[in-house]
């Protein structure tokens, strides 16, 4: 189900209203209109269930409503297409029920796999991915289950039962005595696959599930919400390390550059696994990086825009507004050409680094109102997404930052006349390891995250343009992009320790 909020309309709002009524919360008429009574009912339900009381029906509120929903109130069924189908196909594949190619098409093979999964898990066998089936599939997206220890259990027997290892269990459930577990204790059980997928389209919901899974499997990763998007989707930071040098990597300021989100998540997972096993990442001791630096990543700065580009958001009031904005710029394809947030503001032109100059440049180029890209907004930091990253950066005062984009295999290291100490030398190391071209900075460009970071803190800040081609880059490029950028990501941390 899509995220719902006041002002939305449609069949999924009726599903919400019926579920609220069954749960004992009066949402008014079952009319498919998310008005004030429906919002009040949502808030009351959230309060009763201990959820964030914001009146927005996201993944957590939908999950809490699942017991009050009928089977026919489906999330997905045969004939559907899109990134949510990809998520289901991914989960089915990991669970051992082959849906065929992960292509986002809910065809006969996916239908058969859903039915087989439902049969094996004691669910109604109808081929419909409703909330109960989705809940059963969730561990195959987060990468873990919870297990209550029973009499006679040992870590070895539990590991064999779930196809995992004792080492993975101890990483997820640290303890002074590795041989001691207690009856009734709840353990996190990592499932035998990597959490971060590199063969599917990304959505804000998938990113949330991955973040949850990484924090559960590797409890030394801290997860924190730093803000919310225009639509109310969380903007989350993941933090790892104990060192005094603070490093910040962010991705997907631009919606159709979403491939940078799995890039950072995959790096974090590989780094966490290397640290847990006493290994190396990019040829560097993970323990050295962990002890010397604290890594902060915000993998998805622009959740609403990414959902628009990948097709996760294809209806509702904000979608229709975006489509109207896109119509003002008919030469830019919709939604594939969309870079902005859902309000049509280019987040990487919304920071307070000569914002007025950026406004002049963009207005001269014809970007004078909200649209798919280049519109700077009514003022600097007008958008909740850029404000969240700005506030988080000011709070932590990072020693080095990288903002990830796509197009050109280039590293930009300078802004105007600012030349932070060691900035060029670190950039040269990144370029040598990656094969990317090194450049000072785009001419006549202002108000980006890198621009603001360098001018505000006079510390090394970089924009990395990963990959090449037409945005959005196909996920088939991921392995090459990851290989090339691993030396950049490790150098950004290790160079501070030299």
DSSP sequence for 317-375 = HHHHHHHHHHHTSTTS-TTTT--S-TTS--GGG-SSSSHHHHHHHHHHTT--SSSSS--
Catalytic, out of 144, 392, 465, 482: 465
Q: How far is residue 488 from each of residues 239, 251, 300, 427, measured CA to CA in Å?
A: 18, 14, 19, 8
Question: What residues contact residue 47 under an 8 Å CB cut-off, 6+ apart?
Answer: 53
Question: What residues contact residue 296 under an 8 Å CB cut-off, 6+ apart?
Answer: 237, 238, 239, 246, 247, 248, 249, 392, 396, 398
Q: Could you identify the residue written with the tokens 């622009």?
A: 302
Q: Compute CA 228 distance to the chain's CA centroid, rounded to the nearest angstrom.
A: 12
Residues 173, 175, 180, 186, Cα dihedral to 10°: -30
Q: In whole angstroms, what is the distance from residue 298 CA to residue 415 CA?
A: 22
Q: Is 351 labeled as catalytic in the residue annotation?
A: no
Q: Is 465 labeled as catalytic in the residue annotation?
A: yes
Q: In whole angstroms, what is the distance from residue 106 CA to residue 100 CA?
A: 10
Q: In whole angstroms, what is the distance from residue 91 CA to residue 319 CA?
A: 27
Q: Is 314 exposed, middle or buried (0-12, 13-18, 19+ CB in 10 A)?
A: middle
Catalytic, out of 144, 275, 375, 446: 446
Helix (H) / strand (E) containing 131: helix 131-137
Helix axes 108-120, 83-95, angle to 10 degrees: 50
Quick one: how many helices (H) and strands (E) in the chain?
Answer: 19, 12
DSSP-derived secondary structure letter, 254? S
Helix axes 11-22, 36-49, angle to 10 degrees: 50
Q: In whole angstroms, what is the distance from residue 32 CA to residue 9 CA?
A: 5
Q: Return the SS3 of 101.
A: coil
What positions carry a catalytic annotation? Answer: 446, 465
């Amino acid at each position: 189900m899509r995220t719902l909020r006041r002002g939305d309309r449609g069949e999924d709002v009726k599903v919400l209203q019926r579920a609220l009524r069954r749960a004992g919360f009066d949402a008014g008429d079952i009319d498919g209109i998310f008005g004030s009574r429906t919002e009040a009912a949502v808030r009351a339900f959230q309060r009763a269930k201990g959820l964030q009381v914001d009146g927005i029906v996201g993944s957590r509120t939908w999950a809490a409503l699942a017991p009050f929903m009928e089977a026919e109130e489906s999330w997905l069924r045969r004939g559907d297409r899109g990134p949510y189908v990809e998520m289901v196909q991914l989960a089915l594949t990991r669970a051992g029920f082959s849906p065929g190619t992960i292509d986002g098409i809910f065809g006969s093979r996916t239908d058969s796999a859903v039915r087989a999964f439902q049969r094996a898990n004691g669910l109604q066998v109808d081929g419909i991915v409703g909330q109960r089936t989705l809940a059963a599939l969730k561990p195959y997206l987060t990468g873990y289950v919870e297990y209550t220890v029973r009499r006679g259990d040992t870590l070895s027997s539990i590991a064999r039962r779930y196809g995992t290892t004792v080492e993975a269990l101890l990483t997820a459930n640290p303890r002074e005595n590795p041989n001691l577990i207690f009856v009734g204790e709840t353990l996190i059980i990592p499932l035998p696959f990597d959490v971060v997928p590199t063969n599917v389209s990304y959505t804000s919901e998938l990113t949330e599930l991955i973040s949850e899974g990484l924090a559960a499997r590797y409890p030394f990763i801290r997860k924190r919400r730093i803000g919310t998007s225009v639509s109310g989707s969380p903007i989350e930071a993941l933090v790892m390390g104990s060192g005094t040098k603070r490093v910040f990597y962010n991705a997907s300021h631009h919606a159709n550059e979403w491939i940078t989100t799995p890039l950072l998540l995959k790096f974090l997972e590989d780094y966490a696994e290397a640290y847990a096993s006493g290994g190396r990442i990019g040829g560097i001791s993970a323990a050295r990086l962990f002890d010397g630096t604290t890594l902060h990543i915000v993998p998805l700065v622009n959740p609403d825009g990414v959902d628009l580009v990948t097709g996760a958001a294809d209806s509702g009031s904000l979608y229709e507004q975006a489509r109207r904005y896109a119509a003002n710029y008919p030469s830019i394809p919709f939604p594939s050409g969309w870079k902005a947030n859902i309000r049509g503001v280019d987040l990487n032109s919304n920071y307070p680094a000569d914002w007025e100059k950026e406004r002049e440049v963009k207005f001269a180029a014809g970007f004078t109102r909200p649209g798919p890209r280049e519109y700077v907004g009514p003022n600097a930091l007008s958008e909740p997404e850029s404000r969240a990253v700005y506030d988080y950066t000011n709070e932590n005062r990072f020693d080095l930052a990288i903002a990830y984009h796509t197009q050109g295999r280039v590293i930009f290291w300078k802004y105007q006349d600012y030349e932070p100490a060691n900035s060029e030398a670190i950039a040269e190391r990144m370029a040598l390891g990656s094969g990317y071209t090194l450049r000072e900075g785009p001419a006549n460009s202002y108000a980006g995250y890198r621009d603001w970071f360098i001018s505000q803190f006079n510390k090394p800040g970089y924009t990395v343009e990963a990959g090449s081609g037409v945005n959005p880059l196909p996920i088939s490029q991921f392995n090459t992009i990851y290989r090339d950028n691993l030396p950049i990501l490790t150098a950004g941390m290790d160079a501070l320790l030299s």
